[in-house]
Structures are given as C-alpha cells and as structure tokens.
Structure 1
Amino acid sequence: MKLKSQLKSLFVQPLSSMILSMITAIAISPSALAVTGKVSPHLPEQVQQSQKIAQFSGTDQPERSRLLQQANALYNQRDFKGAEENLRKFLKKFPKDAFGHFQLGNALFRQSKPEAAISSYQEAIRLNSKYALAYNAIGVVYASQDRWEEAITEYRKSLEINPDYGDALTNLGQALWQTNKRDEAKASLEKALNIFKAQSRNEKVYQVEQILQQMKTLDDPSVS
C-alpha cells in the first residue's frame, strides 16, 4: 500500500500551461492529472502533444484554431466546466474532429466524470483508429479507478500504435506493478527511461528513476 501511494503521488503533477501544447501535457499532460486523489499518470503530456497538433492543423482553419485556443485557455486555467462547454460548441461545428473529442474527454475527466470521458476518448478513436494518446487516456481513467487490468489493455493498444510512447510505457509499468507483474513492470519503465533520456525530457527521467528506485527498495528493504 505504501508503494502504491508513493507511485500515485509521483504522478500528481500540475498541468502544462501550454494551450493544447501536449497532453503529455494534456491534454492529458505529460504531467499527470489527479482526479479525486487518484493518479492519472500522464494525461497532461498528452495534452501538450495534442496542443501542438491543434496548432499545426489549425493554420488553414482559423475558426477551428480560434475555438480550440479558447477552450484550451479555459482548460489551462482549470476552468474545466468552461472548457467542456466551449468544446461542445466546437464539436457542433466540427463533429468529426478527433482532437476535439479527445480534449473533451480530458475536460470531463478533470471533472470526475470518468465514463463520459471514456466515451469521448472512444469517439476520438472511432474517428482516428491510430489515436495512441486516446488509448493511453482511457488507460489513465481506468488506473484512476484501480481497474488495472483494463488499464493495461488500453496502454498496450496505445503502444501497438507507437511502441516508443514513453508516457504509455510508464503508465503500463505502474499498472503491471499493481498486478504483481514486477519483472515486466520494470522492463517497461526501463524502456520508458531510455526513451525519455534520448528525448532529453529530464523531468520524466527523474520521475521514472524515482519509481524504479522505490520498486528496488520494496524488493530489497536493505536498499536505501
């Protein structure tokens, strides 16, 4: 129980200030989202990635870009209800926008509406079957409810699309550890660590190193 609490606390991080800059950031932030005290490992970073996608794709659609920026501004101000309302207006105009549904899921998740969030993420996937961020986000929702096996399934789907998705690997490692798959959990985290090092994402490197150290301590209490 102690390790579980420590692992969760490691991922409760503030959302990125970037507008749709990434869900690691999050949109799901590569920072983690905390809902009702439970972990949402890397939602924030996902948001950041998504934010970048929105920015690039909006260059030829000024209205789309403007509406998304408004919603994301509210999201980053932690006005999740306001963000939800703006995203629903956005989706009335752009109902087939996968990112819009994905970000709506993030806003709903932050309001402790897990089932509604999952539905939004699933709609994003229906519109874009290769949406690795959305699969990871669903896994985060399940993890926040301690539904570890279901979370593992979603993280694996995300990694089938992008095997080098460091945040999904980190989340998968945490979920595997919770289901007593310790060797596999460490392998997933070590792969994530190498990816983050290669990407020079020092904050993520530190987080994963801390998790691995805690796991090592649990396996061998003599290790300080």
Structure 2
Amino acid sequence: MKQRSQMETRLVQPLSCLTLSVITSIGLLSPVTAQEPSPATLACEATLSNAEQKPRPKQVQKLAQFADPQQERSQLIQQANALFGQGDLQGAEENLCQFVKKYSDDAFGHFQLGNVFFRGKKLEAAISAYREAIRIRPQYAVAHNAVGMVYASQNRWSDAIAEYQKALEINRDYGDALTNLALAFWQTNKKDEALASLEKAISIFKKQNRNEKANQVEQLLQRIKNSDDNLS
C-alpha cells in the first residue's frame, strides 16, 4: 500500500502543477448522460481502435506477460507514469485505456486516465474518467479537485467551487484544493473568501514542509491584494 501511495503522489504531481497555470489561462462541461457510453469510454474505443491499426508494442502489448495480476497492475501504471512524464500522451492513453478495460474497478487507473485526457484537452473524456474514479472510490478528494480544475478551465466557476468544496469536505487540509478554490472565488468577485482560502493554504503547505508551494501561493495572495489596491 505504501508503494502504491507513493506512486499516486508522483502521478498526481503533473496535475497539481496545472494549478497555478490556471491563474493566467482561466476554466468544462456537462455531466455524463446516463445509459449512454461515457465520453471516456468512447475516447478509449477510438484510441484502442487506432492502436490496433498502428501497434505500439512497447506499451500496449504487455498485458498478457504477467502471471501475478497485482504485478501487472503495478507495471502498467508505472509504464503509464513514465509515458505521461515524457509527454507521450498517445502512448499513456493507449496504455491506460487497456488498463481500465481489463481492471475496470481500479479507481486510480481511471483517475490517471483522466489526467492524460485533461492534458490532451479531451475535457469531456477527462471529466467522465474522474467521475468513474469517484464512483469506485467515493472519498477520492484528489479526483474531485481534478474535476474542479477541468470546470475552471472552461470558466464554469460555480461548478468548480462545488467540486473543490467536496474535496475539502473529504480532506480539510488539502492545500491544492484550497488554492484552486481561492482562484475560483477570485474569479467570481468573492475576494475576501479567496484571500482567506489562500491564507489557509499557505499555513497548510508550511506545516507540510512544502515551502516552494507556500511561496507560490504567497505570491498569488500578494497579486490579489495588489489588484484590489489598483482598483481602489
């Protein structure tokens, strides 16, 4: 479990790095319609169909090489992590689509697939992948935060706020969700709430010895304060 937790932390990092980029390019999509194939499912069907026409043996054809299912799960996630980190979104997507097809009950697999879709700007597919992760693991704060970020990427601030708040109901010390919530508050002219959320996030990051993150949020806090001064 410790190894898996560390793996999740590493894989979440590329997503959390998007947090502050939302500051400069702020805003997602409608809920998945019931009884229809989800956007994630449709995206994976298209991806795997293309992969069959142009096989990628290094990533996709390793599914049958492991006798131990747990070993296979771990290896495939590690492969996806490596591909994602290298910027090979197509390879990571093919790998993860195969993974969730075989291990449909793996919440983290769906979550990481959502990260790949999000990075590839397949926003509806990202949302549905994150939602599937939450369905499997309801107390999945990181996935709620991710849904909020996709909503924020399309300026759906009230929806984003709701998702960040769900994440914080699960984990009140979730500094990244607090930072994202502050950005959403700022965009909806709730500056007092934004400042309070940022101050709490800074305190949490410092307690967690995440000093670089604390410094980034402090800079954001000052920018918001300065923007208020310029308007007065």
The normalised TM-score by structure 2 is 0.74
**Match of 1:32?**
18
Deviations 1:150-183 (A, max 9, x none): 1101000100100110000000001001000111
Ranges of 4+ aligned residues in structure 1 off by more than 2 Å: 18-24, 37-40
Q: How many residues are treated as equivalent by the alignment?
A: 185
Task: State the distance in 1 between where 2:158 and 2:231 align.
Answer: 31
1:124 aligns with 2:111: no
Kindly report which structure 2 residues correspond to 1:100-139, keeping only aligned pairs within 5 A, or say none: 100-139=109-148
- In the TM superposition, what whole-angstrom CA distance separates every residue of 1:7-57 from its partner, at most 9, and x where no partner exists? xxxxxxxxxxx965435404x2x312669x8358xxxxxxxxxxxxxxxxx
Find 1:187's aligned residue among 196, 204, 212: 196
Cα distance in 2, alignment partners of residues 132 and 217 from structure 1: 31
Match for 2:156: what amino acid?
A: R
Call closer, same or farther: CA 1:189–1:151 in 2, change over 3 Å.
same
- Once residues 70 and 153 of structure 1 are traced to their aligned partners in structure 2, the CA distance between those partners, rounded to angstroms, is 33
Tell me which protein shows more strand as a share of its residues.
1
Opposite residue 91 of structure 1, the aligned amino acid is V
Residue of structure 1 equivalent to 2:10 = 22
* RMSD (CA atoms): 2.4
Q: CA deviation at 1:124?
A: 0.2
Alpha carbons of 1:217 and 1:70: their partners in 2 closer, same or farther (altered >3 Å)? same
CA contact (8 A) 1:38 1:145 kept: no
What whole-Å deviation, never above 9, does each CA across 1:60-118 have from its counterpart, x for those lacking one? 92111001001111000011111010001111221100000000000001111111100
Query: What's the counterpart of residue 9 of structure 1?
Result: none
2:189 alignment partner, SS class: coil
The CA distance in 2 between the partners of 1:88 and 1:24, in whole Å, is: 18
Q: Which residue of 2 aligns with 1:91?
A: 100
* Larger RCO (CA within 8 A; separation ≥ 6): 2
Residues 1:60 and 1:166: Cα distance change in structure 2 (over 3 Å): farther
Rounded to whole Å, the distance in 2 between the matches of 1:150 and 1:111 is 21
Structure 1 residue runs without a partner (length 5+): 1-17, 41-58
Which structure shows the bigger proportion of residues in helix conformation? 2
For residues 131 and 88 of structure 2, the distance between their equivalents in structure 1, rounded to whole angstroms, comes to 23
Q: 1:150 aligns with which of 159, 163, 171?
A: 159
| In the alignment, structure 1 residue 201 sits paired with structure 2 residue 187 | no
| One-letter identity of the residue aligned with 1:38 | S
Secondary structure at the aligned position of 1:221 is classed as helix
Mapping 1:43-122, distance limit 5 Å: 61-122=70-131
Q: Return the index of the structure with the highest Cα Rg.
A: 2
Letter in 2 for 1:72: N
Where structure 2 has 5 or more consecutive residues not aligned to the other structure, the ranges are 1-5, 28-67
| CA distance in structure 1 between the partners assigned to 2:140 and 2:181 by the alignment | 17
